[in-house]
Amino acid sequence: KKDIRILAFESSCDETSTAVIKNGREIESLVVATQIKSHQRFGGVVPEVASRHHIEVITQITKQALEQAKASWKDIDAIAVTYGPGLVGALLIGVSAAKAASMATGIPLIGVDHIMGHIMAAQLKDEIEYPALALQVSGGHTEIVLMHDPIHFEIIGDTRDDAAGEAYDKIGRVLGVNYPAGKTIDEWAHKGKDTFHFPRAMMEDDDYDFSFSGLKSAFINTCHHADQIHEKLNKYDLAASFQASVVDVLSHKTMRAIKQYKPKTFILGGGVAANHGLRDRLAEEIEKLPSDIKPKVILPDLKLCGDNAAMIGAAAYNLYNAGKFSDEHLNADPSLEL
Ligand code: KG4
Ligand code: ZN
């Protein structure tokens, strides 16, 4: 059987990335150009700044991805690109580059959903057996996803307000941590204790949805109140208390979903999948399940949790096998749904 090589583009937010992926499983090259420094002084991603940076680097990193994979265009079987969800101007840079490359070379084009990509970072680590279940947690999304097969996904739980990563970034700002704050808060959490007992919203509700805005408000109120009475709170305990609340609700609902749907594989995906507290708790809870309902657990490599083109290439391989190609009408869709 012939090897299938996919050149993938990702530009949905503040990372421009290209990769060459073999057979949906093997990373032959991966280049990630991050713009985080340019956005930090604004405390978040500035869409216009993001688009400009994507344009500056995208052709250069396309060449690099091909060179590192020791591939030329004739070795590429498909060109994949994230077309949503994300920032429309940012997405358009990747979509335009991929369409131009596809038109110039005649190589088929595959549009990929960014969230499907995050989940498929798992495929670069291990074989996924279906049905599978994913907890997909990033800066923009917090979802429990039932995966019937490699391309048919169903969202069974979602956040009603903030995404988990967004909550990390917002409370991080209160503590004076640079955007994106998740990694630092995670590190601080390991040096503190859950002394504040923040709320755990919707934990006992009979669904798979989440809410993080109440937790965020409780956190901010606690900090403001302490400021007013000139009391200095321990930042490590604040971080540990916040993280304990997030990890409790995410793992509680995920475990309920695993018990109900009995997936063969469990996948953690998205930027917040890099969180050590969450990784450890889920692995531990799943380990305690009886063997007949214990799924295989895939926690993606830390460097593949954040935005990257390798995961897009992995997801595109499954679409390739299903014959799901795009044409020259492919457009960015900022609110694309799985
Ligand atoms: O998936 P991603 O790179 O971008 C989106 O598609 O949103 O996720 C970025 C998010 C940010 O909110 C960041 O603070 C969070 O992931 N994050 C973390 C950790 N590392 C990154 N959150 C908690 N713990 C971490 N270790
Ligand atoms: Zn992402």
The reply to whether 127-299 shares the fold of 5-120+304-321 is yes
The whole-number pLDDT of residue 43 equals 83
Per-residue pLDDT, averaged over 23-39, amounts to 94
Res. 17 pLDDT band, cuts 50 70 90: very high
311, two tokens = 């995961």
The CATH architecture assigned to 5-120+304-321 reads 2-Layer Sandwich (3.30)
Per-residue pLDDT, averaged over 257-264, amounts to 98
> How close is the Cα of 139 to the center of ligand 1, in Å?
5
Residue 21 has pLDDT above 90, yes or no: yes
The whole-number pLDDT of residue 178 equals 92
CA 9 to chain centroid: 15
- What pTM did the predictor assign? 0.96
Give the number of the ligand closest to the Cα of residue 275: 1
CB 20 within 8 A of CB 33: no
Residues 6+ apart with CB under 8 A from 2: none
The whole-number pLDDT of residue 195 equals 98
Please report the atom of ligand 1 found closest to the CA of residue 163: 12
The whole-number pLDDT of residue 54 equals 93
What sign does the CA torsion over 135, 277, 163, 285 have?
A: positive
Q: Does any ligand 1 atom lie closer than 6 A to the CB of residue 109? A: no
Please report the atom of ligand 1 found closest to the CA of residue 181: 14
Res. 164 pLDDT band, cuts 50 70 90: very high
The angle formed by the CA atoms of residues 144, 146 and 150, to the nearest 5 degrees, is 125
Per-residue pLDDT, averaged over 54-76, amounts to 97
The whole-number pLDDT of residue 45 equals 87
Which value, in Å, is the radius of gyration of the alpha carbons in the chain? Answer: 20
Computed over every residue of the chain, the mean pLDDT equals 96
Letter string b/e over residues 158-190, b meaning 16 or more CB atoms within 10 A of that residue's CB: bbeebbbbbbbbbbbebbebebbbbbebbebbe
> How close is the Cα of 83 to the center of ligand 1, in Å?
20
The whole-number pLDDT of residue 314 equals 98
Per-residue pLDDT, averaged over 127-151, amounts to 97
The C-alpha atoms of residue 132 and residue 164 are separated, in whole angstroms, by 22
φ/ψ (deg, to 5) at 226 = -65, -40
> How close is the Cα of 271 to the center of ligand 1, in Å?
3
Classify 306 as helix, strand or coil: coil
Q: Which of 131, 42, 1, 82 is nearest to 311 (CA)?
A: 82
What 3 state SS string does 185-247 have? HHHHHCCCCCCCCCCCCCCCCCCCCECCHHHHHHHHHHHHHHHHCCCCCCHHHHHHHHHHHHH
Q: Which CATH fold topology does 127-299 show?
A: Nucleotidyltransferase; domain 5 (3.30.420)
The whole-number pLDDT of residue 271 equals 96
The whole-number pLDDT of residue 36 equals 86
Q: Does any ligand 1 atom lie closer than 6 A to the CB of residue 307? A: yes
CB 20 within 8 A of CB 76: yes
Residue in the structure block whose two tokens are 């956005």:
39
CB 164 within 8 A of CB 212: yes
The whole-number pLDDT of residue 1 equals 80
The whole-number pLDDT of residue 40 equals 86
The whole-number pLDDT of residue 241 equals 98
Identify the residue whose C-alpha is closest to ligand 1 atom 8: 271
Q: Where are the domains of the chain?
A: 5-120+304-321, 127-299
Per-residue pLDDT, averaged over 55-67, amounts to 97
Residue 326 one-letter amino acid:
S
Q: Does any ligand 1 atom lie closer than 6 A to the CB of residue 269? A: no
The C-alpha atoms of residue 142 and residue 146 are separated, in whole angstroms, by 13
Residue 37 has pLDDT above 90, yes or no: no
ipTM for the predicted complex comes to 0.98
Helix (H) or strand (E) holding 84: strand 78-84
Q: Does any ligand 1 atom lie closer than 6 A to the CB of residue 143? A: no
Q: Which of 257, 279, 312 is nearest to 12 (CA)?
A: 312
* Burial of residue 68, with CB atoms counted within 10 A of its CB: 0-12 exposed, 13-18 middle, 19 or more buried: middle
Give the number of the ligand closest to the Cα of residue 181: 1
Identify the residue whose C-alpha is closest to ligand 1 atom 1: 271
